[in-house]
Amino acid sequence: MTTNPLPSDKALVPFVSVDHMMQLIHHIGIEPMLCGLADYIEADFKRWQLFDKTPRVASHSAEGVIELMPTSDGEVYGFKYVNGHPKNTAEGLQTVTAFGLLANVGNGYPVLLSEMTLLTALRTAATSALVARTLAPQNARTMAMIGNGAQSEFQSLAMKAICGVREIRLYDTDPKATQKCATNLAGLGLSVTPCTSAQEAILGAQIITTCTADKQYATILSDNMIGAGVHINAIGGDCPGKTELAAAILHRADIFVEYPEQTRIEGEIQQLDPAHPVTEIWQVLTGQAKGRTSDKQITLFDSVGFAIEDFSALRYVRDQLETTRLFHPLDLLADPDDPRDLFGMLQRAI
């Protein structure tokens, strides 16, 4: 048996490994990359109505969930595979891992396969900062970061790069997580203040980000903690039964979401009546709906993550490949000389 001759370009799909993604982030720089991702996400949110949108396809088990998140703009199709297994951390595994794919709608051929564990962390932070730039009070310079896990540094740097935040006030129930985050952020141009309570963390903060894990109907923020004129960026409430905010806060806030059909199942607003009014963020970005209208207003971005953000992130990565060459060609697709002769291709490999 001999190995088949090298497959043609038609058979090869560019693959961005975790190692290549890390190289790409360092090559571009994390803050410029967060800005670039936010630009791609904003561009796709502004053409929201072009996209095929469906709630994710979830396979639930006792231990967690595996989801497929597909979307298409009519020319390019994308999907993300992502799991969520809260108990993984105890076994030294990631709670969330992900990979994604882009394909050509015209012929169905994949054009990019990419790791998305890192990329999802970046796109989540870029989306948060894009929305905060739109909704937070003018001249917001201080963010409280409640929950100092895997997402916290990315959130902090995105808010710095995209919204001009200069001070981050950290709090986590686990002081080691706060210490890890503070250490990671040292020397990156932010003033970082570790705090010993959520109450302390929100002092003077115009932006409050909550990103905690693995709590059923937790109350990370209670009603009395939230004064007028703040923007709340709530990320951790992202599946049925998992919320972070007291319902009373939701009733005082103007609520902005990605895709209501999904957020009403997975977000903070699962605590509210299904008819409670929310504003879709794409409508704010296109000028069809109002964002912040007064200094006193509490704005809340109830973020659960949506397939279009992954699509935008994959588009961004694909557009970097030609100049950076940070990918492997993957022999994923059969490529017979005659498309009807798959068997002949197989026999020629003997």
Within 207-226, the residues that bind a copy of itself by CB under 8 A are none
- Burial pattern 263-296, b for ≥16 Cβ within 10 A else e, equals bbbbbbbbbbeeeeebbbbbebbeeeeebbeeee
Binding flag, residue 346, a copy of itself (CB under 8 A): yes
Binding flag, residue 319, a copy of itself (CB under 8 A): no
Show the binding pattern over residues 57-96: x = contacts a copy of itself (CB under 8 A), - = does not.
Answer: x-x-x-xxxx-x-x-x-x--x-x-x-xxx--xx-xxxxx-
User: Interface residues for a copy of itself in 118-137 (CB under 8 A)?
Assistant: 118, 121
Q: Among 39-47, 52-60, 191-199, 282-290, which window interacts with a copy of itself (CB under 8 A)?
A: 52-60
CB-nearer residue toward a copy of itself: 99 or 256: 99
Q: How far is the CB of 142 from a copy of itself (least distance, A)?
A: 21
CB-nearer residue toward a copy of itself: 29 or 204: 29
| C-beta neighbour count of 71 within 10 angstroms | 22
User: Interface residues for a copy of itself in 153-172 (CB under 8 A)?
Assistant: 153-154
Tally DSSP H helices, then E strands, for the chain: 11, 15
Written as six digits, the tokens of 83 are: 């799991």
CB-nearer residue toward a copy of itself: 146 or 281: 146
In angstroms, rounded to a whole number, what is the distance separating the alpha carbons of residues 173 and 156? Answer: 18
Binding flag, residue 50, a copy of itself (CB under 8 A): no
Q: How far is the CB of 93 from a copy of itself (least distance, A)?
A: 6
Determine the 3-state secondary structure of 167 from DSSP. strand
Q: Apex CA 73: angle with CA 67 and CA 79, to 5°?
A: 20
In angstroms, rounded to a whole number, what is the distance separating the alpha carbons of residues 337 and 344? Answer: 9
* 3-state SS string for 81-115: EEEECHHHHHHCCCCCCEEEEEEECCCCCEEEEEE
Q: Which of 36, 137, 149, 291 binds a copy of itself (CB under 8 A)?
A: 149
Q: Among 12-20, 161-169, 194-202, 229-237, which window interacts with a copy of itself (CB under 8 A)?
A: 12-20
Q: How far is the CB of 299 from a copy of itself (least distance, A)?
A: 27
Q: Which of 31, 39, 97, 219 binds a copy of itself (CB under 8 A)?
A: 97
Binding flag, residue 1, a copy of itself (CB under 8 A): yes
Which residue's structure tokens are 């990329």?
119
- The burial of 8, by beta-carbon neighbours within 10 Å (0-12 exposed, 13-18 middle, 19 or more buried), is given as exposed
| C-beta neighbour count of 255 within 10 angstroms | 24
Q: Known catalytic residue: 238? A: yes
Q: How far is the CB of 52 from a copy of itself (least distance, A)?
A: 6
Catalytic residue annotation: 238
